[in-house]
Chains A and B, each alone.
Chain A
């Protein structure tokens, strides 16, 4: 067992689960989407991205790309949310925030699939 692999897997899966936790619920109901979950998803996604730096293999490159996509979407969602929170338009804009995080969720799913594919093809 390799501690580095544990940490790597942990952050990638956590990024997906947090993202999913934020995304789940009625898309137009702000009560179903807690902002702290979005915040945690962003932080964990950023850490996952940095962990993927410096891998020169093809699969490593795709890993990094999926993480960058997730970061981009989550940060856009956060910026959007920061701009509208507390204003009357929050109720309508929350749709867009959640759907953006849904996009990020897809990227995170791909990232986890890659992780699984990598693990399965690894023979000892």
Chain B
């Protein structure tokens, strides 16, 4: 901001000097001009009167000739003054207006406003680099989850798009290149409340630059980076990027999970979804022979993961040499002949995984015609083709942006959630199904809120104090409604972290210890009610023994007296 003031002052130097000089000359000159004669004495205008007259003349207000009608010489001087003052005056005003329209200055203004907005953030926030399809999903999900974000995007039209979105928080956004270190600093990489950075631009090299920059400037910060190429991913891993997200590998992974353990997959989708959305209906991929069309990065990952699940695959690829595919059927897959050759009639599933939406749709439509029982997995590349995909009823739709957003959410909501999800993968499908049925019973069919709490002095002062007095509090206490202790809050504890030990689905009668971290999942109402129990001594006491602590000193004293008297009566 300081720089801008100096810039304006500097540019205003010439017009201001012109105004001062023209005023100086004309005001002084006017006082020397002999006025009309009154009582035989020639009158002169004083400096003040003259300044007054020139002021209203220069600003084109023009009150007329005061205090007396002018003499000819005064009028002559005024004629000169008009041209001498009005022109510099307009020059100065024009300069100010053009200054404010200057794109460089406007950029300086928006940048400094952005930096100030970021400086004024007093709660944890994430920096999102690149506001594409993925980031818009992620930002809206985080916004719903009440997590603040800061966005850097280098295309003005996308910035405009963000500004038009209806978010509950004001999201600071800067139109700049994220790989410039000073942009990252302005976005708050060194801000004490910054919780992490997500590099989600379409360009691997920008994501790489962001990841390196953040790791150098603030090594403790969590960095999530998207990497489409394996080389970039390896490069990112080499300097300790916390989470590298490759959408293709991830989808292959998810598909395998869907084939292998549907319950686990659902749990994953559910906990990382946007709260309030309805649950995706489960689709169970059949086991048998699959056809994979397109053997690019996506196709490779799918084939690899399907083969791990003991599913045989037939690959259809238009350019086998480019993709390094041996043993495949040549063709795009959009023609019936190629699909026939691949044996579509006795296959159980087809994956349309080329990078062209129209081709993918064409493949699956042809295939469905030939074999209506086919299980269809389709890759969706562009969000604007969404309506087309809605009309075609595919069993699984894969969109890179959704997958990346879900993965980012898993890490951003709480580190505990990511740990929980990785533990879930090692559990059996039956375990996951049992947990899902428990969750459905508590939170219904919509995507629940997932959040983590920490039992310490700052986040749960009431509970912490009770524990430090040696009293015992169980997990069940936290699960009760602070306004009615007989009612349970709609939440399910998922994971408890104690001394680096993870306890999956902790028992409700488990006593809490200071320092425990608990991952919870439940209704938004429960999320809102829980802080009351955690931080209000009164609410906690009510839940524990059902008595209300009287408010205020007098009532406490009175109730103490009453108790004492009651006690005496009983003794008698």
Cα of A56 to Cα of B356 in the assembled complex, Å: 56
Indicate the member of A35, A47, A54, A85 with the most B CB atoms within 10 Å.
Answer: A54
Instruction: Judge if A10 is at the interface, Cβ distance under 8 Å.
Output: no
When distances are taken between beta carbons in the complex, the residues of chain A under 8 Å from B47 are: 35-36, 39, 78, 82
When distances are taken between beta carbons in the complex, the residues of chain A under 8 Å from B13 are: 50-51, 53-54
When distances are taken between beta carbons in the complex, the residues of chain B under 8 Å from A81 are: 48
Instruction: Judge if B28 is at the interface, Cβ distance under 8 Å.
Output: yes
- Measured CB to CB, the closest approach of chain B to A79, in angstroms, equals 9
Instruction: Judge if A43 is at the interface, Cβ distance under 8 Å.
Output: yes
* Stretch of B17-25, B231-239, B507-515 with 4 or more beta carbons under 8 angstroms from chain A: B17-25
Contacting pair B7 A54 (CB below 8 A):
yes
- Measured CB to CB, the closest approach of chain B to A89, in angstroms, equals 16
Interface SS majority for chain B: helix
Check A53/B10 contact, CB under 8 A, given A43-B20, A47-B20: yes
Cα of A86 to Cα of B17 in the assembled complex, Å: 31
- Measured CB to CB, the closest approach of chain B to A81, in angstroms, equals 8
Interface 1/0s, chain A 22-42, versus B by CB < 8 A?
A: 000000000000011001100
From B47, which residue of chain A is reached at the shortest CB distance?
A39
Instruction: Judge if A46 is at the interface, Cβ distance under 8 Å.
Output: yes
When distances are taken between beta carbons in the complex, the residues of chain B under 8 Å from A47 are: 17, 20-21
From B46, which residue of chain A is reached at the shortest CB distance?
A85
Interface 1/0s, chain B 16-43, versus A by CB < 8 A?
A: 1100110110011000000000000000
Contacting pair B48 A85 (CB below 8 A):
yes
Interface residues of A in 49-66 (CB under 8 A from B): 50-51, 53-56
Interface size class of B (residues with CB under 8 A): 10 to 19
- Measured CB to CB, the closest approach of chain B to A116, in angstroms, equals 23
Cα of A118 to Cα of B219 in the assembled complex, Å: 44
| 8 Å CB contact of B28 from A36, A50, A56 | A36
From B32, which residue of chain A is reached at the shortest CB distance?
A36
Instruction: Judge if B453 is at the interface, Cβ distance under 8 Å.
Output: no
Cα of A51 to Cα of B17 in the assembled complex, Å: 8
When distances are taken between beta carbons in the complex, the residues of chain B under 8 Å from A86 are: 46
| 8 Å CB contact of A53 from B9, B24, B28, B46 | B9
Contacting pair B20 A50 (CB below 8 A):
yes
Cα of A51 to Cα of B21 in the assembled complex, Å: 13
When distances are taken between beta carbons in the complex, the residues of chain A under 8 Å from B6 are: 53-56
Instruction: Judge if B259 is at the interface, Cβ distance under 8 Å.
Output: no
- Measured CB to CB, the closest approach of chain A to B29, in angstroms, equals 12
| 8 Å CB contact of B16 from A43, A50, A55 | A50
Instruction: Judge if B12 is at the interface, Cβ distance under 8 Å.
Output: yes
From B24, which residue of chain A is reached at the shortest CB distance?
A43
Indicate the member of A39, A43, A50, A51 with the most B CB atoms within 10 Å.
Answer: A50
Interface residues of B in 435-469 (CB under 8 A from A): none
When distances are taken between beta carbons in the complex, the residues of chain B under 8 Å from A85 are: 46, 48
Contacting pair B28 A54 (CB below 8 A):
no
- Measured CB to CB, the closest approach of chain B to A56, in angstroms, equals 5
| Number of A-B residue pairs with CB-CB distance less than 8 Å in the complex they form | 46
Contacting pair A39 B7 (CB below 8 A):
no
Interface SS majority for chain A: helix
From A86, which residue of chain B is reached at the shortest CB distance?
B46
From A11, which residue of chain B is reached at the shortest CB distance?
B17
- Measured CB to CB, the closest approach of chain A to B30, in angstroms, equals 12
Contacting pair A54 B9 (CB below 8 A):
yes
- Measured CB to CB, the closest approach of chain A to B20, in angstroms, equals 5
Cα of A88 to Cα of B24 in the assembled complex, Å: 28
When distances are taken between beta carbons in the complex, the residues of chain A under 8 Å from B21 are: 43, 47
When distances are taken between beta carbons in the complex, the residues of chain B under 8 Å from A40 are: 28
Contacting pair A53 B12 (CB below 8 A):
yes
Interface 1/0s, chain B 40-60, versus A by CB < 8 A?
A: 000000111000000000000
When distances are taken between beta carbons in the complex, the residues of chain B under 8 Å from A54 are: 6-7, 9-11, 13
Contacting pair B20 A39 (CB below 8 A):
no
- Measured CB to CB, the closest approach of chain A to B93, in angstroms, equals 16
Cα of A10 to Cα of B20 in the assembled complex, Å: 16
When distances are taken between beta carbons in the complex, the residues of chain B under 8 Å from A51 are: 13, 17
- Measured CB to CB, the closest approach of chain B to A67, in angstroms, equals 12
When distances are taken between beta carbons in the complex, the residues of chain B under 8 Å from A82 are: 46-48
- Measured CB to CB, the closest approach of chain B to A101, in angstroms, equals 15
Cα of A55 to Cα of B5 in the assembled complex, Å: 11
When distances are taken between beta carbons in the complex, the residues of chain B under 8 Å from A46 are: 20
Cα of A46 to Cα of B16 in the assembled complex, Å: 9
Cα of A105 to Cα of B226 in the assembled complex, Å: 66
Cα of A25 to Cα of B28 in the assembled complex, Å: 23
When distances are taken between beta carbons in the complex, the residues of chain B under 8 Å from A36 are: 28, 47
From B9, which residue of chain A is reached at the shortest CB distance?
A53
Cα of A56 to Cα of B8 in the assembled complex, Å: 12
Cα of A56 to Cα of B7 in the assembled complex, Å: 10
Cα of A110 to Cα of B6 in the assembled complex, Å: 22
Indicate the member of A40, A43, A51, A78 with the most B CB atoms within 10 Å.
Answer: A43
Q: What 15 additional pairs, Cβ within 8 angstroms, besides A43-B20, A50-B13, A51-B17? A: A36-B28, A36-B47, A43-B24, A47-B17, A50-B12, A50-B16, A50-B17, A53-B10, A53-B13, A53-B16, A54-B11, A54-B13, A55-B6, A85-B48, A86-B46
Q: Would you list 26 pairs from A and B whose C-beta atoms are within 8 A, ordered by A residue? A: A36-B28, A39-B27, A39-B47, A40-B28, A46-B20, A47-B20, A50-B12, A50-B20, A51-B13, A51-B17, A53-B6, A53-B9, A53-B10, A53-B12, A53-B16, A54-B7, A54-B9, A54-B10, A54-B11, A54-B13, A55-B6, A56-B6, A78-B47, A78-B48, A85-B48, A86-B46
CB within 8 Å of B: which residues of A? 35-36, 39-40, 43, 46-47, 50-51, 53-56, 78, 81-82, 85-86
